[in-house]
Amino acid sequence: MTERRRDLDALRGAAMAAMVIVNNPGSWKDMFPILKHAAWNGLTAADLVFPFFLFASGMSAAISLSKRRENQTSASLAGKILVR
């Protein structure tokens, strides 16, 4: 078994925790300004949570596929991706 990338696991876990906090801040009328999504022409920390999660998920998929590509054909990998 190969060793897990702990840094990638930590980034993905932090992004998941941040998504829970941003989507469930407690009281919607008394929430911290940093947890609110920005207006159309702005950017806050809440707006960066999902892109960080997508980055971590994409990196995990790329690392996993690169290791499996050595032993399997592209058609076999595509089939497993569709089933999953």
- Just list the catalytic residues: 37
Report the half-sphere exposure of 50 (CA within 13 A, side-chain side).
7
Residue 41: what are its φ and ψ, rounded to 5°? -110, 35
Q: Which of 50, 21, 45 is nearest to 34 (CA)?
A: 45
